[in-house]
Structure 1
Amino acid sequence: MTALTRAAAAAERAQHIAQRSDRPSQRRSAQQPGARAAVRASLSGVQLRDSADGGGLLEFRGHATVYEHGYEMWDYFGPYTEIVSEGAGADSLARADLDVPLVLGHDQLRRLARTTNGSLFLTEDANGLHVHAPALDPADHDVAYIAPKLKSGLVDEMSFAFRIEAGQWSPDYTEYRITRYDIHRGDVAIVGYGANPATSASLRQPAAAPASRARALLELGIARG
C-alpha cells in the first residue's frame, strides 16, 4: 500500500473520527470491505513432541499474538498500522469463567482444546499471548489432521478472535494501539497465512522419541472489534 494512500486515509480519519479513543470502523485485514478482521504475526518454532503425560499425547505451544509489533489493518477510510499493547489481555485472561477454545481455522466445531475443561492454558509472557495445550489426543480427527501439517511446515500460523475494549489512535491517525481486549468466548486458532511477522508455536511428540522441529511463521489473530 502506497504512503500516499495511507496518508490520505489518515487525513480522512482525522476529519471524521470524533475522539482518538474511538475504535476503527469496519475493521478488517484487507482492502476488500467484506474481509474479516484477521490479525496475524509470525516468528519461528513449530515442534512436535510427546506430552509430559505420555501415552502418545501431543503438546502444543505457540503465541496467538505478539505484543508491541505493528501490522497492517484497514478501516472504513483505508489502511493503518495496528499494535496490541503488552498486557492488553490481562483483565480478560484473569476471568474465573474464561471460555476460549483452540480451534482450526476459526471453525468453532473443530476444537482441539478448551480453557473450561483444563485442556488449554492462556497466559501473557514477554512475547504476547502464549497458548499451551499440554495433552492433545492424536486419535482426535482434527488433531490427526493438523499434526503432520504443523510438523512439515505446511501449516505454521496462528490467529485469535477477540473484542477490542479500549485503544487509541496516534495523533496523526496512522496507527491504532489496542490497550485492552476481551478474548472470553473468542478463540485461538491454527490457520493458514500470516501478515504480521512475529509469533511462535510448538506441537510436541512422545518424550521417548527424538524431538521433531520445524521453523515457521505464526499468525496473530482474527480479531473482532
Structure 2
Amino acid sequence: MTASPLAAAAAERAQHVRQRADRPSQRRSAEQAGSRAVVRAALSGVQVRDAGDGGPLEFLGHASVYEQGYEMWDMFGPYTEIVSQGAGADSLARADLDVPLVLGHDQLRRLARTTTGTLVLAEDESGLSVHAPALDPTDHDVAYIAPKLRAGLIDEMSFAFRIESGQWSPDYTEYRINRYDIHRGDVAIVGYGANPHTGASMRQSAAAPVSSRARALLEIALAR
C-alpha cells in the first residue's frame, strides 16, 4: 500500500531533521518550489457598509487564527502547521513595531501602518486581530479593494513573519510555531488561502469611535 504524501514526507523528514526544534526547510504555502512562506486565512463574513457620506472605512479582521491547523510545505512535502496562542506577544509588544496592511503582500500598496497609528494589531481569543479604523476611501488601493470585498470576490487574509521558535511533533507531521516576529513583515488582503478560520469586516466608520468591547464582540462573532 502506497503511503500518503503526508506520511511519506514525515518519514523523509524524520530521517533528515536533526532536532525537533529545527525550523522547516524551504517552508512555503504551496507544493510548487519557490512559493512564498506566508500563512493565509479565509475572511468569513466580509462586509462593506456604506453610510453614503463618503467617510472613512473601518477594517476589522484576523490575519491568522491560533490553534487551528493548516497545510504548509517544506523540502520534503506537506505538513500541518499550527500557530500557538500568544505566539506573537513579544513581537507585538515592541515600541517600534512597524507592520503595514497591504494588498497581496505588495509593499507599495499600503492601506495602513502601525507606525502612523492607522493600524492596530493585537492578539485576542481567536488569533492575530487587525484593525484599521479609518481607511481613506479616496485612496486608490482602498477604492480598488472595497467593492471586491463587498462582492465577496476577495475574502482572505495573510501575514508575513519570521519564525523564532517552534517544534515538530514526534511523528514529524505537524509543526507548531511557538513564537514569531512580525516586525517589518505585513498583514495582507490576498486572493487565496490555506487557513479557513478567520473573520473580518470592512464598513463605513461612524463619527464616534467603536468601543473596544463592541469591536471585540464583532470580531469574535465574525470569526465563528
With the length of structure 2 as denominator, give the TM-score of the two structures. Answer: 0.87
Aligned to 2:213: none
Q: Does 1:15 align with 2:15?
A: yes
Aligned to 1:80: 79
Say how many residue pairs are matched. Answer: 207
The structure carrying a bigger strand percent of its residues is 2
Aligned to 1:211: none
CA distance in 1, matches of 2:203, 2:164: 34
Q: CA deviation at 1:30?
A: 1.3
The structure carrying a bigger helix percent of its residues is 2
Say whether the 8 Å CA contact 1:50–1:59 is kept in structure 2.
Answer: no
> 1:50-199 to 2 correspondence within 5 Å?
56-199=55-198
Percent of residue pairs identical: 82
One-letter code of the match for 1:69?
Q
Q: CA deviation at 1:206?
A: 5.0
One-letter code of the match for 1:40?
R
Aligned to 1:42: 42
Q: CA deviation at 1:55?
A: 6.3
CA distance in 1, matches of 2:8, 2:83: 24
Q: For 2:197, what is the secondary structure of its paired residue?
A: coil
CA distance in 2, matches of 1:50, 1:92: 34
One-letter code of the match for 1:202?
S
CA distance in 2, matches of 1:112, 1:170: 38
Say whether the 8 Å CA contact 1:42–1:194 is kept in structure 2.
Answer: yes
One-letter code of the match for 1:182?
D
How large is the Cα RMSD of the aligned pairs? 2.0
Q: Describe the superposition over 1:30-77 as per-residue Cα deviations: whole angstroms up to 9, x where unpaired.
A: 1111211132223522122469xx860000000000000001111011
CA distance in 1, matches of 2:74, 2:13: 9
| Gaps in structure 1 of 5+ consecutive residues | 209-216, 219-225
CA distance in 1, matches of 2:92, 2:38: 20
Say whether the 8 Å CA contact 2:59–2:201 is kept in structure 1.
Answer: yes
> 1:185-224 to 2 correspondence within 5 Å?
185-207=184-206
Q: Does 1:6 align with 2:6?
A: yes
| Higher deviation after alignment, 145-154 or 3-12 | 3-12
With the length of structure 1 as denominator, give the TM-score of the two structures. Answer: 0.87
Q: Describe the superposition over 1:133-177 as per-residue Cα deviations: whole angstroms up to 9, x where unpaired.
A: 000000100001111111111111100000000000000000000
